[in-house]
Structure 1
Amino acid sequence: MSLASRIYPVVDRADWIDRLGGAGARLIQLRVKDLQGAALLAEIRAAKAHAARHGVTLVLNDYWRLALDEGIDFIHLGQEDLDTADVAAIRAGGIRLGVSTHSTDELDRALSVAPDYVALGPVWPTKLKKMPWAPQGVERLAEWKRLVGPVPLVAIGGITLARAASCIAAGADCVSAVSDFTGQPDPEAQVRAWLAATGDMT
């Protein structure tokens, strides 16, 4: 089992998928927290169109029902999302699934649903949202990789271009970030730099 890329930008708007996908990113998550109803649906549809044009594997955060309705074939769920998600329906719909983890208990729970990847974070401190979990460190990535075996491992949280390669070396199959892509003056150049730093040949 493998992911489409070693780099995994997380963005909040469809236009970013057009920009970063055009620069070479092949695995991008759309995580929208401030829209609902028609506006949310329009953003998801635009993201799907941009992803198709650039050959990007689009991962939709949280909205598994909309993923089923709109033909999005990859979703990401947090631990709290697993409380209410219908995993059987997700699997019956042919949707691939990534799950966030922060502890061994959460990892056990994630592995019980046979995920297509497991994410571990935050590897370093992150300012994007309040985290109840202490930074995991790259050493935990090596531990997680031993525990997950063939399941792809995604590192996320406080990761920068300078830190990306160390995550891959520690055992991560893929490295994810938000602001280190979208907060840069030249996001497209940043994608290319991340691809080079992680040895991604996509």
Structure 2
Amino acid sequence: MTKEQHLQRLRDDPLYVILGEALSCGRTNVQTAADVLAAGVRIIQYREKHKTWREKYAEAKEIRRLCRKYDATFIMNDAVDLAVACKADGIHVGQDDAPVSFVRQWAGPQMLIGVSTHTEEEMTEAVRDGADYVGLGPFYPTQSKRDVHAPVTPKVRQFALQLSIPVVAIGGIGKANIGALYAEGFRSFAMISAVVGQVQIAAAVQALRQAVAVD
């Protein structure tokens, strides 16, 4: 797939699943990725904080292979070197990670770059610096990440809907609230617990898709 096709997927496909082994009901990251892909998810982010570089590289290569098998978009979290090494389709960085200009120089023009944001100023800066999409959140309280901000305000949410690049909503999103956010205008939702933290991943994915189904 081309970069433009991956970007279009971010606009059209609501499910963006982040892997988190500690929340995966005893499954490994690779096992979870296989189950998520088999359930029909086509955007996966690999986020692993507590393993060695070589362990993460080995996992990322296998998950990248699975994503190619399913024609899915594979995004690496934080580590630009890992993203390049495993030939990921994208890299997602936070406010304390490498700036977009550096990531672009290292990763090249065809790799998607996403940036975590919480304010209007951070979103504006991400667009100005050449990010391909922003992650915005948290929308609701979440247990999946420590030291998170307070939920984004309605004003920030409305600002996000005016951006020229895709916005991925994140933070406490699940089947109970995803439909309301979709009705509000958001189209992409990054989730951990609502998918990988469920015993039956396929059923969880189906329920989430039904929650944003438009007649």
- Answer yes or no: is the 8 Å Cα contact 1:123–1:159 preserved in 2: yes
Select the residue among 58, 66, 73 that pairs with 1:50: 66
Q: Structure 1 residue 195 and structure 2 residue 198: aligned?
A: no
For 1:24-70, what per-residue CA distance to the aligned partner results, in whole angstroms no more than 9, with x for missing partners?
Answer: 00111111111113211101111101111122111111111121122
Q: Structure 1 residue 65 and structure 2 residue 81: aligned?
A: yes
- In structure 1, give the amino acid aligned to 2:36: L
- Answer yes or no: is the 8 Å Cα contact 1:7–1:176 preserved in 2: yes
**Which residue in 2 is equivalent to 1:76?**
92
- Answer yes or no: is the 8 Å Cα contact 1:123–1:138 preserved in 2: no
Q: Residue 27 and residue 84 in structure 1: after superposition, are their counterparts in 2 closer, same or farther (change >3 A)? A: closer
Shift of the alpha carbon at 1:196?
2.1
Shift of the alpha carbon at 1:91?
5.2
**Which residue in 2 is equivalent to 1:175?**
189
1:46-195 map, 5 Å: 46-83=62-99, 86-90=102-106, 92=108, 94-136=110-152, 140-146=156-162, 148=163, 150-195=164-209
- In structure 1, give the amino acid aligned to 2:91: I
More off after superposition, 51-60 vs 17-26: 51-60
- In structure 1, give the amino acid aligned to 2:170: I
Describe the SS at the equivalent of 1:158: coil
Normalised TM-score (structure 2): 0.84
Shift of the alpha carbon at 1:90?
4.1
Shift of the alpha carbon at 1:132?
4.5
- Answer yes or no: is the 8 Å Cα contact 2:94–2:115 preserved in 1: yes
For 1:156-188, what per-residue CA distance to the aligned partner results, in whole angstroms no more than 9, with x for missing partners?
Answer: 001111111111222212011111111212111
Normalised TM-score (structure 1): 0.89
Shift of the alpha carbon at 1:139?
5.9
- In structure 2, give the amino acid aligned to 1:2: Q
Q: Measure, in 2, the Cα distance between the counterparts of 1:23 and 1:138.
A: 33
For 1:9-34, what per-residue CA distance to the aligned partner results, in whole angstroms no more than 9, with x for missing partners?
Answer: 11032222110110000111111111
Q: How high is the sequence identity, in percent, across the aligned residues? A: 29
Q: Measure, in 1, the Cα distance between the counterparts of 2:100 and 2:40.
A: 35
Q: Measure, in 1, the Cα distance between the counterparts of 2:53 and 2:212.
A: 38
Question: Which consecutive unaligned segments of at least 5 residues does structure 1 have?
Answer: none
Select the residue among 4, 8, 14 that pairs with 2:30: 14
- Answer yes or no: is the 8 Å Cα contact 2:120–2:156 preserved in 1: no
Q: Measure, in 2, the Cα distance between the counterparts of 1:84 and 1:27.
A: 21
Q: Measure, in 2, the Cα distance between the counterparts of 1:22 and 1:88.
A: 31
**Which residue in 2 is equivalent to 1:2?**
8
Q: How many residues align?
A: 198
Q: Measure, in 2, the Cα distance between the counterparts of 1:139 and 1:32.
A: 32
Shift of the alpha carbon at 1:104?
1.8
Q: Measure, in 1, the Cα distance between the counterparts of 2:184 and 2:8.
A: 17
- Answer yes or no: is the 8 Å Cα contact 2:135–2:167 preserved in 1: yes
